[in-house]
Structure formats: structure tokens, C-alpha cells
Amino acid sequence: MLPLSVLQKAAGEITSFGGAGQSVMEISHRGGDFKPIIEGAESLLRELLNIPPNYHVLFLQGGGMTQFAAVPVNIAGVEAAKEKRNCTYIDTGVWAAKAASEAGKYVNVKIPASSKDKNYTCIPDAPAPSADDAYYYICLNNTIVGTKWHKLPETGSVPLVTDASSCILSEPLDVTRFGLIFAGAQKNLGPAGCTIVIVRDDIAHNAPSWTPAMLNYDIHIKEKSLFNTPPCWCIYIIGLVLQWIKETGGLAAMQKHNSEKAALLYDCLDNSKLFKSPVEKSSRSLMNVPFVFNIEDAEKKALLEKRFLHEAALAGMVNLAGHRLVGGLRASIYNAMPVEGVRALISFINQFEKSA
């Protein structure tokens, strides 16, 4: 969900941006009209996240899944194909597992902790990295199962790497705790098509010579994210969203806003007899709230889910189906979702329970 004010501003400028007589989708990324767009977006992101000067900010393409390969290649890639460095991955769900699988093509992946045996309903205890680890990888917020790292693992001198796609800018984040953060735009930042990478300088220039150019951070840093034609429209929308966050009160205000929404919804589920949250309270996400019917009969549960989604859609509430891999129901309450939207869902849940 994008802020209404952002959509309205973009709509007003869609045929002519800043008096240029062209849409952002038409202007040249090499021209003077686009430079303030990308530079402004980076400046706002640095301000909101308090990103230190020894970190680079990149606006790339390929989604988070491209970073599953780019991260090991850039941080731990070696010139000799038969040599592989060790890296630690903590398995907290589908996206962490996919990242580990992809990384295994380039590094020796170790998975010392996993919550798979608990259906990924919690964040496992994370052991310290080995001294020879090139990096330590976590998925900060797990959209499918609705879990989040509320306490970061201690990794010492080993760079901590995270996929923050679904929780970036939802609350304050200490960038200095990480060697690298990447995030797809399509949750809290803007439309799909752009992936932001925030990478510390000491690990940003180590890609081996065989690295494909489009995966090489060093090239993108030197070209200021303009090595190839960037997703101009997406970067423009990201800039508007960042401005909206700043005007709303910054990340402290976002945290308060998101915590209120999540608390209301979890309280509703915890006090329901028909629904329940499958996630352990200490690991619950502020962004993604899966919930299921608290009944054993699989056939009856399937019929109720179908009815719930149908009636919710009639009431104006959509995208409440759980991920296809786990089923059930799920409410994603990203930054732009107002409290009123969550209250409407709670009202619907209560009404449905009475009529079920």
C-alpha cells in the first residue's frame, strides 16, 4: 500500500514532471531532470536511517532474489572457482532458505540454527559466527510466516547481512550494526522494480574478476547507480514516499504507528475463540500478521477461509489470503496502512466470528 498523498502527487505530475514537459517515465536518466530525483531519494534515505558516510546507497534492479547471489559474490567471492569461503545463514523461513540455497553456489553455507521444526513460528536462538565466516546472514522480517528479529545477533567483526525488504523504514534501525542491508521497494518504499542496497565501504569493493557486471557493487558505486538505465519511475516514487515519512514524523513516528496497528490486531486474535495467531509472541512481526481458524477439521477450515475471503472482499478488504505455500490468512499492515484500516479488519473479524 502506498500513501494516498504520494499517489495523488504522482498522478498530478505523470504527464509533466517539474515543468519539464515530460513524464518521469520519459526523461533521460542521464539528463539534468533525473539527477535531483535520484540524489534527493538517496539524501532522504540517508537522513531517515542516519546512514554514515562510509556506507554506499545503491538503487538497483533484479529484486531481492538477485541479491541472494550478489551478496556472496561481492563479500565472499574468490578468484579460484574451487575455493569457497564459509558463511553463516540462519533459517527463519522461505526467503532465508532461498537465499542460503542460492549462496551455496558460491560459498560454503552453514546453517547452525533453524526454526523449521517449529513451522517457522519463531526466531531461533542464533549462535555466534565462526572466526573464518565471511559474513552472517539473516532475513530481518519474514513475510510468509510473520516473524521478525527483535534482537539482532551479535556477530563481532563478522559483517551482519540482512534482507530488510518487508520492514525497512517501519521503525528506527541502527545501520552501523550491519555490513550490508538490502530491500526490495515493493513493501514500504514504492512500487516493484527497484532494490536498495546499503553496503559498508570495506566490503563493497571485493568482487572477483569473474563477477557479472550487473552484480558488481563496485561498478554500481562508481557509476552512482547509473551503470545501466535505472528504474526511474520507481526511484521517483521512493523519493515521494521518503518525503512522506519525513513529514509524518520520521521513523520514530512510523514505529509508534505500526506498533499501534499490530497491537490492536494481535489483541483481537489472542482474544478470539475462532481465530488465532500461530506465531510465538516474542517473534511476532509488525508488518505481516498471519492468522488461522482455530479448528481441527481441515475441510471445514477450508470452507471458512473461502467464505472469509469472499465476504472480506465484498466489505472492501482484499489481499487477505495467506501465502500460497502456507495457506491460511494474512494481513500485511505496511507503513501506509492507516489505523482505520486495521480497525475495519478487526470489526469484520468480530462480526464473522459471531456469524460463523
Among all residues, which ones are annotated catalytic? Answer: 95, 163, 187
In the chain, the amino acid numbered 4 is L
Cell numbers at 211, concatenated: 563477477
Q: How many angstroms separate the CA atoms of 118 and 120, rounded? A: 5
How is the beta sheet containing 133-139 ordered, strand by strand? Answer: 55-60, 195-200, 180-184, 160-163, 133-139, 86-91, 108-114
Coil, helix or strand at residue 88:
strand
Q: How many angstroms separate the CA atoms of 348 and 144, rounded? A: 22
The conformation of residue 230, written as its DSSP 8-state character, comes to -
Cell numbers at 214, concatenated: 550487473
Q: How many angstroms separate the CA atoms of 78 and 71, rounded? A: 13
Residues 6+ apart with CB under 8 A from 294: 272, 273, 274, 275, 276
